[in-house]
Chains A and B, each alone.
Chain A
Amino acid sequence: MREIVYPFSEAAVRDLCVGEAVRVSGLIFTGRDRLHKYLAEGGAVPVALRDGGIYHCGPVVVPEGAGWRVVAAGPTTSVREEPYMAKVIAEHGLRVIIGKGGMGAATRTACQKYGCVYLQAAGGAAALLAQRVRRVAGVCLLEEFGATEALWQLEVEGLETVVGLDTCGASLFEEVQAASGAVLQRLLTSS
């Protein structure tokens, strides 16, 4: 089991390979459809994303005291951010993306070029993953985007993931897609 801690160094992420299990600790930022479109269109955020990680997640949060408590926080489908991801990696210096389902060729190429990894978390395992959130360090764009699409600054400890896209240009998902496509063709030929 590998461990990476925020702020993530280029050397640390370049050392990870597809299929390896990785635990992520420290600060991560949630972001999904609204945020990616906003960033790709040149929108500014009041946090430094450089050497940081974006977690494709719209958490369930409830107010608690003066702050917030995360009740459920699993990953959302990453491929919806494919049109924006490469640009966001290039312009904001992201090192880590956490999500589920995999991403496409543009993100794979950007990961290789700029030194970023795509990590897959267990899709839908929201109660379990919420246990890894130690505290909510802050939130931005709450008013504009609403609670689900806002950028939440989460302090996590030991968030379990597996490397889906690495900095060598390998993709766990493209391999599975191609192999399963070949099986599908065999099944459809043998009706």
Chain B
Amino acid sequence: MIWSEILAELIRRATSDLPADVEAALRTAAASEQPQSQAALFLTALTENAALARKKSVPMCQDTGTLNFFWSVPRGTDESVFEQAARAATERATREGWLRRNTLDGLTGRSIDSNVAEGCPVCHFEQRSESGGQRSEAVEVWLLQKGGGCENMSRQFSLPDDSLLAGRDLEGVRRCLLQAVWEAQGYGCAPGILGVCVGADRAEGFRVAKRQLLRTLDDSAAEPALAELERRVLAEANLLGVGPMGTGGNTTLLGVKVAARPRLPASYFVTVAYMCWACRRRGVRVCGDKVEWLG
């Protein structure tokens, strides 16, 4: 099993093949807008774009984004092997034109044409605990490609927030989320998807919030209070009238995915990872010789 090849194929799929649930949501949204309106025309263009990118194996968006690999591996795994494979796959995918030359030196601004550098691509590892004595040797990895336009619209609130009249409760969280959607307007390529973390510290908040963007649009939080918050914020955000690309319409958000994490008594962070409509998430599960594509 050559991991660098599997991961290059994972990148090709993620960058060119919009997940079916997102594409279906764009189609439904296009039908819900007034015929011939700017919103309807944009949404239709996005579905045409998705079909074309898939057919030609080219990036659906020129900003091929930060590559976030979320790994689930058996306990005791040497992670450096997988990290190295991710770097090799990134270099290969860049040569193929599946990824843009999308990495600049933080100090000089020089282009790092290979897209491989310290911390690029990003790998998050989770070593599985063995449940019920059953040890699985499977390795599962999900890739999220998140562009800069939407990353710039991500937000982190610290509650209480006087300006939003947001206290340390789910009503406060709701206020933060609606504010974040309004601030994003069309700058982050609406219609967007919110990945949200309530709690944790600042760094973990963004990791968990981004992780939520791997959930499919029909997935609800297991905790009923969070599921209700997801449903309510989605409905309310779509009343704002920001619309696709910020030029008005009924479709401002496609989904809201919230998770809660433990926090310090002194901190109450609400972290919002704003994702554009081009929610590029794909996974693969490898067990022995068996390769199963996910998403």
**Complex Cα gap A12–B43 (Å):** 28
Let me know if A130 and B58 touch, CB within 8 A. Answer: yes
Known contacts A180-B182, A188-B165; is-contact A164 B97 (Cβ 8 Å): no
Let me know if B171 and A191 touch, CB within 8 A. Answer: yes
CB of A176, distance to nearest CB on chain B (Å) = 5
Interface residues of A in 74-94 (CB under 8 A from B): 74, 76-77, 79-80
Known contacts A123-B189, A124-B278, A146-B110; is-contact A73 B62 (Cβ 8 Å): yes
The DSSP consensus for interface residues of chain B is loop
Known contacts A127-B53, A177-B185; is-contact A162 B62 (Cβ 8 Å): no
Known contacts A124-B276, A176-B247; is-contact A58 B240 (Cβ 8 Å): no
Contact of B49 among A19, A124, A183 (CB under 8 A): A124
Let me know if B178 and A74 touch, CB within 8 A. Answer: no
**Complex Cα gap A147–B242 (Å):** 33
CB of B278, distance to nearest CB on chain A (Å) = 5
Q: Report the interface size for chain B: residues with CB under 8 A from the other chain.
A: 57
Let me know if B113 and A131 touch, CB within 8 A. Answer: no
Let me know if A60 and B245 touch, CB within 8 A. Answer: no
Contacts of B148 in A (CB 8 A): 76-77
Report 28 cross-chain contacts, Cβ distance below 8 Å, ordered by A residue.
A57-B62, A58-B62, A60-B58, A60-B62, A60-B100, A72-B61, A72-B100, A73-B62, A77-B188, A80-B152, A100-B149, A101-B187, A101-B245, A102-B187, A122-B42, A122-B46, A125-B49, A125-B61, A130-B58, A146-B110, A149-B111, A162-B247, A173-B185, A173-B247, A176-B247, A177-B185, A183-B240, A188-B164
Chain B residues close to A by CB (< 8 Å): 38, 41-42, 45-46, 48-49, 52-53, 56, 58-64, 97, 99-102, 104, 109-111, 113, 147-149, 152, 164-165, 171, 174-175, 178-179, 182, 185-189, 236, 239-243, 245-248, 276-278
